[in-house]
Amino acid sequence: MRRKRCVRPIETTSRARKQRDDVAKKLASHDIPFFTFCDQSIFDHDDVMTNAGKPNTVFTPYKCKWLETLTPDALKPYASEDHPDALSRRRT
C-alpha cells in the first residue's frame, strides 16, 4: 500500500491558517503526514518579526528586518529532480 501524505502551500490569512491547522490535526489522527511550503512569498507570515517577536506595524523597520533576514540561503534554489519523493503524483 502506498503511503499517503498531504502537501499544501502556506496560507497567508488567519482563516486559512486555522483551516490548515484543522486539516493537519485530522490527518494526524489518521497517521498521514502533513507538509507545508512557502510558495507565494520568500518568507512566511511569522518569519520577519520585530526584535520583541511581534509583527511590524511600520514599513521601514519591516523592510530593514526583511533585508536582514534575506540571506543567500533564503534564495537558494532547490532542484526538484533531486527530491522526486517530495513531489505529489498526478492522478489520471
Q: So where are the chain's domains?
A: 1-40, 47-85
- 63 in helix, strand or coil? helix
Residue 29 has pLDDT above 90, yes or no: yes
For residue range 53-90, list pLDDT tens digits in order.
888 888 888 899 889 988 888 777 777 777 677 666 55
Neighbours of 92 (CB within 10 A): 3
Count CA atoms within 13 Å of residue 21 on its CB side: 7
Q: In terms of pLDDT, which residue wins out, 57 or 38? A: 57
In the prediction, which pLDDT does 33 show? 85
pTM of the model: 0.45
Question: Is 39 or 81 the better-scoring residue by pLDDT?
Answer: 81
- Buried/exposed 3-36: b ≥16 CB within 10 Å, e otherwise: eeeeeeebbeeeeeeeebeeebeeeeeeeeebee
